[in-house]
Amino acid sequence: METTQSTHSKAIGYILWIFGFTGSHRFYYGKPITGTIWFFTLGLLGIGWLIDLFLIPRMDRQAEQKYNAGQTDYTIAWALHTFLGYFGAHRFYMGKWITGIIWLCTGGLFFVGYLYDYWTLNEQVDEKNGGSIKRNRLAQG
């Protein structure tokens, strides 16, 4: 029987839910479209934000199935991006030194790169951890 290593943390999901009107917990769990909708509608005027309190366990399970665990930790990457993303800290953590230096010198590539990373950070970490292996294994099996 194969054991799976955790990729995302329910505790972090709930902490981000506190700021759920910004969509941060949805971005964390790999749902950039609804994260963007939550951001622009303040969590669907608070209604979607409240409903998400009960949906976080399901979003956590879906993230566990979708993303590949590995040497690069999703939670650390997200914490670095959230608090130090303008300086490229998450990119340095993932070994992306050139873009890390660009982010450092340009404030997250003039904020546009910072937003881009909100949309793609899970996929970047997944790729760094060899994510196609997990998806291929699930497809075959």
**Same-domain status, 54 and 99:** no
What gap in Å lies between CA 54 and CA 76, rounded to an integer?
Answer: 24
**Same-domain status, 51 and 90:** no
Q: How confident is the model at residue 1 (pLDDT cuts 50, 70, 90)?
A: very low
**Residue-level pLDDT at 20:** 76
pTM score, two decimals? Answer: 0.83
**Same-domain status, 136 and 79:** yes
What is the average pLDDT across 64-88?
A: 93
- What letter does residue 130 receive in the DSSP assignment? T
Q: Which residue has the tokens 């790729």?
A: 127
Task: Answer yes or no: is 101 within a domain.
Answer: yes
Task: Say if CB 99 and CB 44 are below 8 A apart.
Answer: no
Task: Answer yes or no: is 96 within a domain.
Answer: yes
- Number of other residues whose CB lies within 10 A of the CB of residue 47: 11
Q: pLDDT digit string (tens) for 27-74?
A: 999 999 999 999 899 999 999 999 999 999 999 999 999 999 999 999
Task: Answer yes or no: is 39 within a domain.
Answer: yes
**Same-domain status, 49 and 88:** no
**Same-domain status, 82 and 133:** yes
Which of 85, 51, 67, 49 has its CA nearest to residue 9? 67
> Which residue segment(s) compose the domain that 40 sits in?
10-66
